[in-house]
Structure 1
Amino acid sequence: MENTIVRLESISIENFKNVKYGQLCFANNRKNYRTSILGLYGQNGSGKTALIDAIELLQLALKGAQIPSKFADYINVEAGYAYLRYEFSVSGKEDRYQAFYEFKLTAEKIETAQNTIVLENDDVHFKAKITDELLSYAYESETLKIRKSTLLDTSSKKVFTPTTKYSCLVGKDKKVNMNLMVDKKIIQAASRSFAFSGELLSVIRNNQVGQGDLEYQRHMRLIESLVRYGNFELFVINTANSGIISMNMVPLSFRYENGKSGAIGNILIPLEETAPIPEETVSVVERIITNMNVVLSRIVPGLTIRLENLGEILFANGKKGVRIQLISLKNKKAIPLKYESEGIKKIISVLQLLIVVYNRSSITVAIDELDAGIFEYLLGELLRIISEQGKGQLIFTSHNLRPLETLNRGFIAFTTTNSSNRYIRMGNLKDSNNLRDFYFRDIILGEQSEEVYDPTNNSEIALAFREAGEFNGT
């Protein structure tokens, strides 16, 4: 399974945040490139972050994790539910899948406890639920080709359909079926995906009867590939990271491998004061920093960071820990990292993931506002290098237009003012056109099939500033 390459090929979004409908395809932008990059551009509030949120929702579903209640608020106010659809390519040594995963996102009111007095001005709280999951696939190998068919559909009152796929994966034990019916209700009530829940996966993996069947093995390769992808190969960095950095904390996201061992995760390291971390984590962080410094010193000439060990401590649970501080070294002068710029901290927080995207094919990293605090020329060069020589998949949003001049135009998409057709790629573009200039021109002239900018009136803005000043007595 570790040699399987999973790529996110497309996303369709319906009634999610301010996107009534939007569809983005990542598969057609890789001509002559091993890597897959998509940079999404557009004015504020036009649906860029919705794309990153949709990928985060996918990650949570594939991990079988609880969906945070915030996603209940992401359902468009004019709709009863949101619908999300994802397409993947899953390539192994001897076979290839085209997989499709889709589901409804609904909001359910959280009932208050009995005997609790609810006041009129109390907020009504909702939880997000994933329902009507549908996993389907097409399959191709040297000896067999299967058209698109449904593997798992949770929309019925049964555990899942089709019945033939259920029998293949789960078996015909009635007691197991009854237990799974209960599990399904509990899991959905707990705001988790049932299709990728640990409870269902455990039953399928323990199906001794099916394990010798070639169809069972084929289905399991697909399911296990998607589970591995969601847990170990898909990373989402949202704007919360930028807020954390502003509070002088570094969220260090990483995937690190050394031979047959490795580590994956996200460590939040405070910068205002020394930070206690578990003893076994120290060696992992040190290896990650050593690895990052190879690239960091080239990105920001002369700059490296190091982990300062300030002595052992004992946690309340009796386990040993170490108190650390991150140090910045520039031209051999050491200062606490907290005194560096937010741009440097942002680079450090995502650098290890960019290294992994550059080197590994089955890695997807989605970053909201990648450009925050990063010098635009450096941003453009980093993305050019990754696009031309990298192997993985990078999806990002940005307000900085420099990448429009350094990336292949197939790697760029734009938001529109039409919430029912939220994402487009530029048409009528010649090879000689500068995409940045072309985008500015379209903002003014509106030559695309959809409007990409909701125009503002400078005189009205100036008048509003003056009126606001008079209101404040200035």
Structure 2
Amino acid sequence: MSRWSVRIESVVLDDFKNVKHGEINLENKKSAYRASVLGLYGQNGSGKTALIDSIGILKLALSGSRIPAKYADYINVGADYASLKFQFLVKKGEAQYHAWYEFRIRRDLRQEDYSPQNIENSLDPMSKFRVTLYDECLRFQYCDEKVKIRMASLIDTKTEEVFLPKSRYIELVGTDKKTSTDIYVAYKLAEESSRSFIFSRQLINTVRKNCSNVIYTDLINSLLTFGTRELFVINTDTSGLISLNALPIAFKYKYDDEPKETFGQLAIPLNESVLVPMELVDVVRELMSNMNIVLEQIIPGLSIKVYELDTELSKDSKPGKRLQLMSERNGKEIPLKYESEGIKKIVSILQLLIVVYNSESITLAVDELDAGFFEYLLGELLKVISEKGKGQLIFTSHNLRPLETIDKGFIAFTTVNPENRYIRFVNVKGNNNLRDFYYRDITLGEQTEPVYDPTNNYEIMLALKEAGKTYDT
């Protein structure tokens, strides 16, 4: 039986971080590859991380999770709100949607008493602000062998009512007064708790109970599943854990003989053993065993072993087992914490790269994918995934080696213009080396927007000399 698959087709950002306006299509329109890969390149501070962060907020919204207060600072300076819009391709067999989900975020003062006690119990103890997600809208087109639906709004909260169109409201929620009251309360609670209303538990459960139109329910359920189980975001916060001797392992795993899938993220301390719940011990063991199949090919002689130590009870009296990760290289074992940052980075994301290669329904967004990777290995690994993989990979990088190894349609660039942050290069011929082409454009500026804010070596030299006057001897 075929499953629903979801892919992000495009992203539009307005007043988000340093992006006044930016829109980017993630699909390779030049070549018919099964995988969807987008590598974003550009100058420091030009909007690369903003793209990954926007997908991180998307994951929180689709999964009905709370958006942390830190994202209030992601609204562009001088703007009242940021707007984010995502287009998806959702399909199963002959059934296919093009769906658009958009929303705004703004920064609001918290309503509760900002007392020392509340600060201590708060999920964001250092912030007096919260993020409000509002003006949500979900639109779609649909077609299968028998039915075609043109562009239509399914849920639009840009109204004084809970949402429009009224006809859709009745189809999704019904006409029962108590249910309508409960939905209104859920709408207000979602706003106060920094969550999406469209993907709130209350609305989802109500739609599942009352709506008989499977076209509508399938769309909502597929996007919810995508955000909860199939969209993974690895940002600089995750990478920072490695420097703090914690290995974040994001995973999605399925046993061959069982239909159930296991997914999530573990942060395993590297400088000590960790108590893992019994139900996850086998998952960690299988993940490492599965990962070693690939790890031994990309770093010859290296494998990761899981040492199982004592069985203990956790603080909530549930049984668990202490585990420690060891690195084995050419028959010699050392604790994984003594390996390089690059090795630990590879281990932390390798399981997800395996799933992206094998599963059409997975999207992985990684900021600074090249951090710790040997450039030749990075280029070859991305070449394999882009040409033979099935899923979606979105990454930022400073390493230019992939520009020489993967199809040019998989690459986009940031510009120095905050009003038009993302572009695809034009006039690139098939025999052009995109890396050389990029360097040439930095110098000559042949694209519609400049991709590099020029620096002057003489001015840099003078600045270094001026700043170093106190060190003269």
Q: CA deviation at 1:179?
A: 1.6
For residue 153 of structure 1, the aligned residue among 156, 161, 166 is 156
CA RMSD of aligned residues (A): 1.5
Give the corresponding residue for 1:71.
71
Q: Supply the distance in 2 between the matched residues of 1:81 and 1:114 (Cα, whole angstroms).
A: 23
Structure 2 counterpart of 1:220, which letter?
T
Structure 2 residue 12 is matched with structure 1 residue 12: yes
**AA in 2 matched with 1:17:** K
Matches of 1:252 and 1:305 in 2, distance apart?
13
1:188 equivalent to 2:191? Answer yes
* CA 30–444 in structure 1, closer or farther in 2 if over 3 Å, else same: closer
- What one-letter code is carried by the residue in structure 2 that aligns with 1:135? L
**Deviation of 1:113 (Å):** 2.1
Structure 1, gaps ≥5 residues long: 117-122
- Which whole-Å CA distance do the structure 1 matches of 2:331 and 2:12 have between them? 50
- Partner residue, 2:27: 27
CA contact (8 A) 1:29 1:411 kept: no
Q: Please give the alpha-carbon distance, in whole angstroms, between the structure 2 residues aligned to 1:125 and 1:457.
A: 42
Closer, same or farther: CA 460–147 of 1 in aligned 2, 3 Å: same
Instruction: Give 2:221's aligned residue.
Output: 224
* Structure 2 counterpart of 1:120: none
Residues 339/86 of structure 1: CA separation in 2 closer, same or farther (3 Å cut): same
Is the contact made by 1:159 and 1:177 (CA closer than 8 Å) also made in structure 2? no
Residue 427 of structure 2 corresponds to 428
Could you tell me which residue of structure 2 aligns to residue 119 of structure 1? Answer: none
Name whichever of 198-207 and 356-365 sits farther off.
198-207
The answer for the alignment partner of 1:264 in structure 2 is 263
Distance in 2 of aligned mates of 1:25 and 1:142: 27
Match of 2:80 in 1: 80
Structure 1 residue aligned with 2:390 = 391
Mapped partners of 1:264, 1:30: distance in 2: 33
How much does 1:124 deviate? 7.2
Distance 2:295 2:28 in 1: 32
CA separation in 1, counterparts of 2:5 and 2:385?
18
* TM-score, length of structure 2 as denominator length: 0.95
TM-score by length of 1: 0.95
2:431 alignment partner, SS class: coil
- Which residue does the alignment assign to 1:375? 374
Give yes or no for the alignment of 1:233 onto 2:230.
Answer: yes
Q: Displacement of 1:266 after TM fit? A: 0.6
Following superposition, the deviation at residue 78 of structure 1 comes to 2.1
Q: Distance in 2 between matches of 1:44 and 1:380?
A: 21
Measured in 2, the distance between the counterparts of 1:445 and 1:396 equals 26
Pairing 1:352-371 to 2, within 5 Å after superposition: 352-371=351-370
Matched letter for residue 86 of structure 1: F
Q: Which residue of 2 aligns with 1:312?
A: 311
Structure 2 CA distance, aligned partners of 1:265 and 1:324?
18
Mapped partners of 2:114, 2:201: distance in 1: 32
2:298 paired residue number? 299
Q: CA deviation at 1:2?
A: 6.7
Q: CA deviation at 1:27?
A: 2.6
Aligned match of 2:122: none
Per-residue CA shift, 1:408-439, capped at 9, x if unaligned? 00000000000000000111111111000110
Indicate whether 1:101 and 2:106 are aligned.
Answer: no
Does the CA contact (< 8 Å) of 2:130 and 2:194 recur in 1? Answer: yes
- Report SS of the residue matched to 1:91: strand
1:206 to 209, 218, 229: 209
Is 2:279 the partner of 1:280? yes
Q: Specify the alignment match of 2:119 in structure 1.
A: none
1:456 to 2:455 alignment: yes
The answer (yes or no) to whether the contact 2:327–2:333 under 8 Å persists in 1 is: yes
Residue 94 of structure 1 deviates from its aligned partner by 3.2
Determine the structure 1 residue equivalent to 2:251. 254
SS at match of 1:327: strand
Per-residue deviation, 1:115: 8.4
Identical amino acids, percent of aligned pairs? 54
Q: Does the CA-based 8 Å contact 1:29-1:36 persist in structure 2? A: no
CA contact (8 A) 1:245 1:345 kept: yes
1:84–1:103 CA contact under 8 A, matched in 2: yes
Residues 203-227 of structure 1, C-alpha deviations (whole Å, 9 max, x = no match): 11121xx43xxxx111001111101
Q: Once the 2 structures are TM-superposed, how far is the Cα of residue 262 of structure 1 from its aligned partner? A: 2.4
Is residue 3 of structure 1 aligned with residue 3 of structure 2?
yes
Deviation at 1:310, TM superposition (A): 1.4
In the alignment, what sits opposite 1:346?
Answer: 345
Checking the alignment, whether the CA contact within 8 Å between 2:105 and 2:132 is kept in structure 1 is yes
In structure 2, C-alpha distance between the alignment counterparts of 1:433 and 1:94, rounded to whole Å: 38
* One-letter amino acid of the counterpart of residue 142, structure 1: E
1:52 and 2:52 equivalent? yes
Partner of 1:126: 129
Do residues 446 (structure 1) and 442 (structure 2) align?
no
Cα 1:137/1:425, change in 2 over 3 Å = same
The answer to whether the aligner puts 1:43 opposite 2:43 as a matched pair is yes
1:115 to 1:67, Cα distance in 2 relative to 1, 3 A? closer
Secondary structure of the residue aligned to 1:294 is helix
Q: Which amino acid aligns with 1:401?
A: L
* Counterpart for residue 244 of structure 1: 241
Q: Distance in 1 between matches of 2:145 and 2:460?
A: 64
How far apart are 1:55 and its partner, in Å? 0.4
Matched to 2:159, the amino acid is S
For 1:107 and 1:194, the matched residues in 2 are separated by 17
Is the Cα–Cα contact under 8 Å of residues 99 and 137 in structure 1 kept in the other structure? yes
- Assess, with a 3 A threshold, how the Cα gap between structure 1 residues 124 and 362 changes in structure 2: closer, same or farther: closer
Q: Distance in 2 between matches of 1:327 and 1:375?
A: 22
How is 1:408-423 mapped onto 2 (pairs within 5 angstroms)? 408-423=407-422
Q: Secondary structure at the match of 1:206?
A: helix
From the superposition, tell whether residues 462 and 6 of structure 1 become closer, same or farther in structure 2 (CA, over 3 Å): same
Kept after mapping to 1: 8 A contact 2:2/2:92: no
